[in-house]
Structure 1
């Protein structure tokens, strides 16, 4: 009985060290079973240390040592697997062997076997998908009990003389089985508690981060300005519960929400040395008010007592600005909010870059539309005015009708901000264009429209068909000595895996020369915008049978358009 109490007393020191170690980063890998090298290495280092400590804390009895070494070996195997368990047991066994005694060889063998036993149990649970059971204190208790019984058996089989070994086992078996089994259960309980804390912390972190990400998505797509940053700051303030939130660019405060908003005014220049340092050095600054002094630079009676300043870093390590979290003087930063602040900075940096990309894409789209309009307007306007001038004397009513069609055509061209239209609207635009051209070519041009009615409300990028029809006239039928014909066809192709829309513009001139990787500028823009909207497998293709016909074929899936503003018919 006295030996049991002595072992439990030594075990208390052992567990105190385990508890203190659980507060360090070295302990974190022990709370998972990942199989990664870093996790296994941590298990080996920590539990080899406890193996050695268990021997040093042991009690000398009859030229042997009653100890808690088995806890380190078994725990190493349970959490690290067979290889780690064997390595930990071997390390502890060799250390015990160097200390001598008539049980040195038996203890070296048994310690190695105990580590391997823990590893076998580890593999058993992993193969069956029962990893959580490894962290149960009851499992550690049972495995350690079996390991100690195995150790006593090995001592009886290996240690000599047998009579002395038997006497030793009778003296130490029950105390060591009880002490080590309880110790293993308590050790695993410490790990289990630390694991629960990590998981709770991670869940809280993930929950806050996801809520902020969900609420803030798309806000910065309108630009990095005072309106958008105010919305973002409000969301972060509500979700984190910090004293105040501020977002700045490189020069001024963009938004400020919370304590001190009466003097931290948006639009005012940055005056904080911490903020300037974070921007200049691209580093996180935590001014806790103790180790790093913090005092509001705008108002001496400001209630804010600490600040976390994180730079917003964009492409090529460019600092776009900062996000700043504050706490009042009577409250310290939680570790959760400190780590969350770093994640928020990455989130906002990515959103700002995404917003800039969207803005650039919008500007590019508008530039492409204007380029298409610039291609059409000058020569078409010149030809149209000449045609109307010729018609006005002999048929004033027809001239007025042509002017109406011309005005309708140019009115549509002036709507720069519309990126998509229905096929019905695109056909109306083409009709206005062709009415003028039909008057110009008189009876030498024939136009046929055959578009399935179900396609009229399908949305396409603006200027999808008009440049192709204009090319068919300008470079096709206008060069013919005989009558020209243009067909605009639209149908649904259902025999493919994905139902598709096919639009065709066909002329009977056959003048287009197909060159590999080379098309007209207007055709390039049409093809590019279709691919951006629907994917790289769709777009515009040109087919030509010289002197017979030229076909411009557009294909895209029969579904809602992607990446383009929609407009209802």
Structure 2
């Protein structure tokens, strides 16, 4: 008989628990759930929690199964509402949810003129106790910084089961005080175990479902905030740590994460501080926080929760900040710490889990941004070094040959010698005075012409130059010293080896969105794999500036011609 009653009660009770599970899922879609996730419940939010879970209590009473021992006793899931109200809303909310559920239990099971039985009173008091006890569990875990335990199914099942045992004990005490202990015992033998199992499982399932919804909400919120931070900081370049760029970064992080304060440091100094405490946390001062120094030294995250470990400002003992998350900014390639980013909360305010996850994401973003800035700066310096190298790698033989040629011409053709000296001075002035790393095609051609005029005087009638560069392309922007070194190679390693007339052609044309320059000689002496140092540097410089689709290609028809083609993007200076 007892086994039959157990099955007869537990199946409907589990069905009722599933109804509550569905209702709780709808609750997770409300704005109150968002506030619950953020641990920022306001008074209106707590009122809504009270109303929702008081409704659960009333519904649990209404969907009850009568005991065969007494018409005043029912197997019910009312405790699910009371316990959830306390776990989610705290002691005050839990008390009023339980009290409301208890009053409804007494009122709904008692006639207008009928006296209130000890069974009704015991159930009302026990329901109030359940909500209050669960509320104190919430309060205790919050004070200990273990709020995540509220969403552990195993812990909550055990807690709900323990609270249910208290309900049974209260019922038996009321029966004993009313000299009806035997009936109270028989009632509990019939309905206690089904209620304990169903209510505990119902609370655990609902809290598990809330935890999963909370996790999803945290992830979506974290991703959205991280994306906003990335978008808003996209224009901030960080080639090195500077107070100005770090301050802009910290202000954006503070605005998006809504923590009390944000700080950014390098390995020695505070670079930026935004939020609560900015009056005494001054950028430029030496790092004084032991937690920050520990994070840098150990290359690890340091979390001071303000509960187990108290955060104490080293600058101002009256500082309102009570907890801190210190995350190192890492250079993974060199396994070194560049600095830290720190998120703060004020005293008596819990540090949101979303901000712990988000803080690490932001630290990774900031680290990548700093490293990218460093690599960009290194790239710029490398380009500058290559440019300087090109400007100093003038063939000394060219200078010797030019001066020798001019000296021979001076006696017979003084005007021609004067022109050549002008060309030589223009050539060297271009080499020595140019400070920019880009120029126009027109200026580059002028540099080439100065060089070729000197070479034509040296080779006399054995060198011909053909220029085919449209006027509308001559204002196109290009890297300096791109043409002249290649023209020099065409003469030095090409036409100078010919017995007959050597021809050098310099041409330009437009190909879609690209500028095509070609330097061709009629020697055809290029041997594949015989790379020239300057040519390689020019090709690398072009690729570093414009990408792998641009640069130099070389074609050769042996003993016929060699053609060097330079592809650049069309762009005006």
Q: Under TM normalisation by the shorter chain, which class is it?
A: 0.5 to 0.7
In 2 relative to 1, CA 470–307 (structure 1 residues): closer, same or farther, beyond 3 Å?
Answer: same
Aligned-residue offset at 1:214: 1.3
The answer as to whether partners of 1:370 and 1:416 remain within 8 angstroms in 2 is no
In 2 relative to 1, CA 361–393 (structure 1 residues): closer, same or farther, beyond 3 Å?
Answer: same
CA distance in structure 2 between the aligned counterparts of 1:272 and 1:325, rounded to whole angstroms: 13
In 2 relative to 1, CA 502–14 (structure 1 residues): closer, same or farther, beyond 3 Å?
Answer: closer
Matched, 1:325 2:338: no
CA distance in structure 1 between the aligned counterparts of 2:489 and 2:469, rounded to whole angstroms: 20
Secondary structure of the residue aligned to 1:327 is strand
RMSD of aligned Cα (Å): 4.2
CA distance in structure 1 between the aligned counterparts of 2:398 and 2:259, rounded to whole angstroms: 63
- Corresponding residue for 1:71? none
Aligned-residue offset at 1:274: 0.6
Q: Deviations over 1:409-432 (max 9, x none)?
A: 344434676444443332233223
- Corresponding residue for 1:515? 528
CA distance in structure 2 between the aligned counterparts of 1:480 and 1:267, rounded to whole angstroms: 68
Larger radius of gyration: 2
The answer as to whether partners of 2:386 and 2:541 remain within 8 angstroms in 1 is no
1:503 aligns with one of 485, 493, 517: 517
Aligned-residue offset at 1:463: 2.7
Matched, 1:252 2:264: no
Aligned-residue offset at 1:263: 3.5
Matches within 5 A, 1:292-311: 292-311=309-328
In 2 relative to 1, CA 410–59 (structure 1 residues): closer, same or farther, beyond 3 Å?
Answer: farther
Secondary structure of the residue aligned to 1:527 is helix
In 2 relative to 1, CA 339–435 (structure 1 residues): closer, same or farther, beyond 3 Å?
Answer: same
Matched, 1:527 2:539: yes
Matched, 1:344 2:362: yes
The answer as to whether partners of 1:7 and 1:67 remain within 8 angstroms in 2 is no
The answer as to whether partners of 1:503 and 1:555 remain within 8 angstroms in 2 is yes
CA distance in structure 1 between the aligned counterparts of 2:308 and 2:363, rounded to whole angstroms: 23
- Corresponding residue for 1:172? none
1:472 aligns with one of 467, 490, 495: 490
Secondary structure of the residue aligned to 2:496 is helix
Aligned-residue offset at 1:349: 1.2
2:223 aligns with one of 206, 222, 225: 206
In 2 relative to 1, CA 203–507 (structure 1 residues): closer, same or farther, beyond 3 Å?
Answer: same
- Corresponding residue for 2:450? 432
CA distance in structure 2 between the aligned counterparts of 1:508 and 1:13, rounded to whole angstroms: 92
The answer as to whether partners of 1:508 and 1:549 remain within 8 angstroms in 2 is yes
Matches within 5 A, 1:174-323: 197-316=214-333, 317-323=335-341
Aligned-residue offset at 1:233: 1.9
Gaps of 5+ in 2: 29-64, 69-74, 78-200
TM-score, normalised with respect to structure 1: 0.60
Matches within 5 A, 1:100-179: none
Matches within 5 A, 1:325-404: 325-329=343-347, 331-376=349-394, 378-391=396-409, 398-399=416-417, 401-404=419-422
The answer as to whether partners of 2:239 and 2:370 remain within 8 angstroms in 1 is no
Matches within 5 A, 1:56-95: none
In 2 relative to 1, CA 465–304 (structure 1 residues): closer, same or farther, beyond 3 Å?
Answer: same
Aligned-residue offset at 1:333: 2.8
Aligned-residue offset at 1:327: 2.5
In 2 relative to 1, CA 406–254 (structure 1 residues): closer, same or farther, beyond 3 Å?
Answer: farther
- Corresponding residue for 2:142? none
CA distance in structure 2 between the aligned counterparts of 1:259 and 1:397, rounded to whole angstroms: 79
CA distance in structure 2 between the aligned counterparts of 1:260 and 1:417, rounded to whole angstroms: 47
CA distance in structure 1 between the aligned counterparts of 2:423 and 2:255, rounded to whole angstroms: 56
In 2 relative to 1, CA 315–416 (structure 1 residues): closer, same or farther, beyond 3 Å?
Answer: farther
Q: Deviations over 1:179-225 (max 9, x none)?
A: xxxxx999999888766655544443233211211122252343233
Gaps of 5+ in 1: 24-57, 69-183, 561-565
Aligned-residue offset at 1:269: 2.5
Q: Deviations over 1:536-561 (max 9, x none)?
A: 465323333444432223345xx55x
Aligned-residue offset at 1:372: 2.0
Secondary structure of the residue aligned to 1:340 is helix
CA distance in structure 2 between the aligned counterparts of 1:435 and 1:201, rounded to whole angstroms: 72
Aligned-residue offset at 1:446: 1.9
CA distance in structure 2 between the aligned counterparts of 1:511 and 1:199, rounded to whole angstroms: 68
In 2 relative to 1, CA 409–306 (structure 1 residues): closer, same or farther, beyond 3 Å?
Answer: farther
Aligned-residue offset at 1:4: 9.0
In 2 relative to 1, CA 7–424 (structure 1 residues): closer, same or farther, beyond 3 Å?
Answer: same
Aligned-residue offset at 1:321: 1.3
Aligned-residue offset at 1:435: 2.9
Secondary structure of the residue aligned to 2:554 is strand
- Corresponding residue for 1:29? none
1:413 aligns with one of 431, 435, 441: 431
Matches within 5 A, 1:17-32: none
CA distance in structure 2 between the aligned counterparts of 1:487 and 1:212, rounded to whole angstroms: 54
1:461 aligns with one of 476, 479, 487: 479
Aligned-residue offset at 1:320: 1.6
Q: Structure 1 stretch 240-249 or stretch 327-336: which is displaced more?
A: 327-336
Q: Deviations over 1:219-260 (max 9, x none)?
A: 234323333323222322233233322212222222233333
CA distance in structure 2 between the aligned counterparts of 1:377 and 1:401, rounded to whole angstroms: 21
Q: Deviations over 1:95-118 (max 9, x none)?
A: xxxxxxxxxxxxxxxxxxxxxxxx
Secondary structure of the residue aligned to 2:227 is helix
Q: How many residues align?
A: 401
Secondary structure of the residue aligned to 1:376 is coil
In 2 relative to 1, CA 260–366 (structure 1 residues): closer, same or farther, beyond 3 Å?
Answer: same
In 2 relative to 1, CA 417–509 (structure 1 residues): closer, same or farther, beyond 3 Å?
Answer: same
